[in-house]
Structure 1
C-alpha cells in the first residue's frame, strides 16, 4: 500500500504545480467576488523553487504528485514580537485525495522547516467563507487573528 511522502518541489514539477495553482484559483473564485476575471496567476513558481527563503513542497502518492504547499520567510511588522515569521500558502490537494489529512502532512513539514529556520510563528490567509479550510487549519492549531474587510464603492 502506498503512503504519502513529502519532498521539495523541483523545476520538473512545474507543469503540475501550474495546474495546482489554477485549481487554487478555481476554488477561490466563488469565495471572492473581488478576483479579476480571465487568467490569473498567484505565484512565481520557478522563483519559489529557487529561493532559499521559500520551502515549496509536494506530496507524492506512488509516482503521482497529489498536493502542494509552501512556507516563506517574511519580515514581520516592527510592532510584532517576532521579527520574522513563516507565511504559508499554495495549499492544494487533488480533489480525489481530499479528506485523507494530506494537508496535515504538508503543514507539519512546513512547520518543521520553519522551526529549523528559527521561526517562532506561522501565518496564513484563508477566506472567511472557506469553511473546510478554516476547519482544517484550526484542527492543525491555527487560531483566527485578524479579519480583513472590504467593500465596493
Structure 2
C-alpha cells in the first residue's frame, strides 16, 4: 500500500469516490438533493498550494482518498489564524477495516505540519458512529454539534 498525492489522472476514480460518499451520507442527511451531487472542486484541490489530495494505492489501484485544505480562522478570537480542514475521507468498501484511512490521515497531518499549521478540523455526521470512533481513535475530539429544525 502506498499513499501519494493525487494527480489529474486520478480524477475519474475520485469522482466515483465522491458519489460513493454521497450515497453513504444520504441516510444521515435528509436535506441532500436527489441525483448527482458534487461536494468538492477536485481540480482546485489538486492544483492549489493551500491544499493536498492524498490517495492510497494498492496494486496500481486507487482504493482511498482524503484532502487537507488550509483555511482562515472564521473567528478573530481563536488562538490560531489558519487551520487545516480535512475532507473527502473515503475508502472503498472492500478495503475498509485495514487501517487505510489512518494511512491517509497520517499523510494529511504530515502535510499540515509541513505548512506550519497546528489546528486541524473536520466534519462528520454524529450518527456515523464508525467514522466518529475512527476519528476519536486518531485523536480527534468532538467540538460542536450542529442542530437543525425544518419549520
* Short-chain TM bin: over 0.9
> What is the match of residue 71 of structure 2?
74
Q: Provide the rounded CA distance (Å) in 2 between the counterparts of 1:39 and 1:18.
A: 11
- Structure 2 unmatched ranges of 5 or more: none
Corresponding residue pairs, total: 150
Helix, strand or coil: the match of 1:14?
A: helix
Query: Which runs of at least 4 in structure 1 moved beyond 2 Å after TM superposition?
Result: none
Q: CA deviation at 1:34?
A: 1.1
Q: 2:44 aligned with 1:10, yes or no?
A: no
> What is the match of residue 133 of structure 2?
135
2:43 to 35, 43, 46: 46
Deviations 1:75-113 (A, max 9, x none): 012111010000000000000000001000011100010
Q: Give the CA RMSD over aligned residues.
A: 0.6
> What is the match of residue 61 of structure 1?
58
* Alignment TM-score, normalising by the size of structure 2: 0.98
Q: CA deviation at 1:119?
A: 0.3
Q: CA deviation at 1:36?
A: 1.1
Q: CA deviation at 1:51?
A: 0.7
Q: Provide the rounded CA distance (Å) in 2 between the counterparts of 1:62 and 1:109.
A: 19
